């Protein structure tokens, strides 16, 4: 059978909207994983993929991650994700036109899918998409009536996750003196680095983009490490804050950390990798629990009128309570933290609140 057919047939989600955009030669993929708790909502990722199959796999997995993220965070939204699978080296003009056509599509869908920024898209991009699809786009700029960049809230949630992890491992929630390796110094990684520096942690950074590294190490005076070395550096916390799939059979044996706590979505390459981490004695903060801050804060501010302080408090509280529960359940039931987090999500999915 055709690999794409197999993918679509075997998926456990609800539906997939697939459109080819001839002018940009991009594929627009909207994966709706579950609408049990509410309308499907999730970021729009823009990225180049080797082929359509890879892009669909990413959309599928990211959409499922959103289902669990909303469920654990207690937000009445369903799981979905959009992937704009673009050609390499697309120009700014073409990019904007693609975003406009994507906005028109979201408008036509009339709320079947709600979106926000993700890897490869920005608040400015949300403003462009929002010109046509206004009610369906979160994270527009304040000037355009939105709550702005989710990244500082995502970083805040990851930071809280590190505190909970420190408390679980060392009996104290403080991060002072802890050594943290941040992989990926984009908007979330940078904000996290700033918070950790303020807490007097020792921060090491790594990125594929030398310019991003220069900017960040210049601003904060941080040590940088090459992408090739990033997995093997001895540290307390390894924080994946870029692409997914970085915890796999190749990297897990090389890790020299006590815990993995980061912002990237889909950090585990395969479900079995959670067990490999457990067997190596590395505590894993499930990604969809640690990284809920941006999505939770921005949608809360835009749909429920939360002020920034309230959003920050609720993010901290949600991450602390859920992660502590997951660590405890994992320990007492002898299951991986990933399975404990999935169990918590499924429990909430089975008892939707209205």
Nearest residue (CB) to ligand PHE, 123 versus 283:
123
Q: Which of residues 192-231 bind ligand PHE (CB under 6 A)?
A: none
The single residue among 103, 130, 139, 300 that binds ligand PHE, judged by CB under 6 A, is: 139
**Interface characters, 264-283, with ligand PHE (x: CB under 6 A):** -x------------------
**Interface characters, 51-70, with ligand PHE (x: CB under 6 A):** ------------------x-
The single residue among 150, 184, 186, 244 that binds ligand PHE, judged by CB under 6 A, is: 150
Q: What minimum distance in Å lies between the beta carbon of 176 and ligand PHE?
A: 28
Q: Give the DSSP H/E element, type plus range, for residue 21.
A: strand 15-21
Size of the site for ligand PHE (CB under 6 A): 15
Distance CA 161, CA 123 (A): 25
Angle at CA of residue 286, ends 283 and 287, nearest 5°: 125
Given the rule CB under 6 A, which of 10-18, 41-49, 191-199, 304-312 is the region that contacts ligand PHE? Answer: 41-49
**Residues known to be catalytic:** 81
The single residue among 299, 330, 336, 337 that binds ligand PHE, judged by CB under 6 A, is: 299
Nearest residue (CB) to ligand PHE, 123 versus 274:
123
Tokens of 328: 């405890």
The single residue among 13, 78, 103, 116 that binds ligand PHE, judged by CB under 6 A, is: 116
Angle at CA of residue 264, ends 260 and 267, nearest 5°: 60
Distance CA 286, CA 261 (A): 8
138 part of the interface to ligand PHE, by CB under 6 A: yes
Q: What minimum distance in Å lies between the beta carbon of 117 and ligand PHE?
A: 6
Q: Give backbone dihedrals phi and psi of 44, rounded to 5 degrees, phi first.
A: -110, 115
Q: What minimum distance in Å lies between the beta carbon of 104 and ligand PHE?
A: 20
Residue count of the chain, please give it.
Answer: 354
The single residue among 79, 286, 294, 300 that binds ligand PHE, judged by CB under 6 A, is: 294
Instruction: Sheet containing 283-284: give its strands across.
Output: 223-224, 202-206, 179-183, 235-240, 257-260, 283-284
66: nearest Cα among 295, 347, 304, 325: 295
Distances 109 to 17, 64, 65, 114, 295 between C-alpha atoms, Å? 10, 20, 22, 10, 21
Report whether 307 contacts 317 (CB < 8 A): no
Q: What minimum distance in Å lies between the beta carbon of 187 and ligand PHE?
A: 10
Report whether 49 contacts 58 (CB < 8 A): yes
118 part of the interface to ligand PHE, by CB under 6 A: yes
The single residue among 13, 79, 80, 117 that binds ligand PHE, judged by CB under 6 A, is: 117
Report whether 205 contacts 225 (CB < 8 A): yes
Q: What minimum distance in Å lies between the beta carbon of 244 and ligand PHE?
A: 11
Q: What minimum distance in Å lies between the beta carbon of 280 and ligand PHE?
A: 27
Nearest residue (CB) to ligand PHE, 4 versus 144:
144
348: nearest Cα among 20, 26, 67: 67
- What residues form DSSP beta bridges with 72? none
Q: Work out the end-to-end distance of the chain between its first and last CA atoms, rounded to an integer number of angstroms.
A: 41
Given the rule CB under 6 A, which of 114-122, 167-175, 213-221, 337-345 is the region that contacts ligand PHE? Answer: 114-122
Tokens of 206: 């790594």
158 part of the interface to ligand PHE, by CB under 6 A: no
Q: What minimum distance in Å lies between the beta carbon of 136 and ligand PHE?
A: 11
Given the rule CB under 6 A, which of 111-119, 240-248, 276-284, 333-341 is the region that contacts ligand PHE? Answer: 111-119
Angle at CA of residue 275, ends 40 and 295, nearest 5°: 25
Binding site residues, ligand PHE, CB under 6 A = 41-43, 69, 116-118, 138-139, 150, 265, 294-295, 298-299
């Amino acid at each position: 059978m055709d690999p794409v057919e197999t993918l679509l047939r075997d998926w456990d989600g609800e539906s997939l909207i697939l459109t080819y955009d001839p002018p940009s030669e991009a594929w627009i993929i909207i994966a709706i994983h579950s609408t049990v708790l509410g309308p499907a909502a999730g970021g729009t990722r823009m990225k180049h993929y080797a082929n359509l199959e890879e892009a669909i796999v990413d959309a599928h997995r990211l959409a499922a991650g959103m289902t669990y993220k909303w469920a654990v965070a207690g937000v009445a939204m369903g799981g979905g994700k959009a992937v704009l699978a673009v050609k390499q080296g697309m120009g700014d003009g073409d990019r904007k036109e693609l975003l406009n056509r994507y906005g028109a599509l979201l408008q036509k869908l009339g709320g079947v899918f709600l979106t926000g920024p993700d890897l490869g898209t920005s608040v400015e991009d949300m403003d462009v998409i929002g010109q046509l699809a206004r009610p369906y786009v979160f994270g527009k700029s304040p000037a355009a009536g939105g709550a702005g960049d989710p990244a500082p809230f995502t970083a805040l949630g990851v930071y809280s996750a590190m505190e909970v992890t420190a408390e679980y491992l060392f009996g104290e929630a403080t991060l002072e003196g802890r050594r943290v390796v941040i992989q990926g110094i984009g908007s979330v990684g940078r904000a996290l680095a700033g918070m950790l520096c303020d807490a007097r942690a020792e921060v090491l950074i790594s990125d594929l983009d030398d310019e991003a590294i220069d900017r960040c190490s210049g601003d904060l005076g941080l040590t940088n490490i090459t992408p090739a070395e990033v997995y093997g550096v001895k540290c307390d916390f390894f924080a994946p804050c870029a692409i997914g799939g970085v915890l796999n059979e190749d990297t897990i044996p090389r890790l020299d950390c006590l815990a993995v706590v980061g912002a990237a979505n889909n950090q585990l390459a395969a479900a079995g990798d959670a067990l490999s981490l457990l067997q190596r004695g590395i505590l894993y903060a499930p990604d969809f629990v640690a990284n809920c801050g941006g999505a939770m804060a921005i949608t809360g501010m835009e749909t429920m009128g939360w002020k920034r302080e309230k959003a920050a408090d609720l993010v901290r509280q949600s991450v602390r309570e859920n992660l502590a529960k997951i660590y405890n359940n994992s320990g007492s039931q002898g299951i991986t933290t990933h399975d404990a987090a999935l169990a918590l999500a499924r429990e909430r999915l089975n008892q939707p609140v209205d």
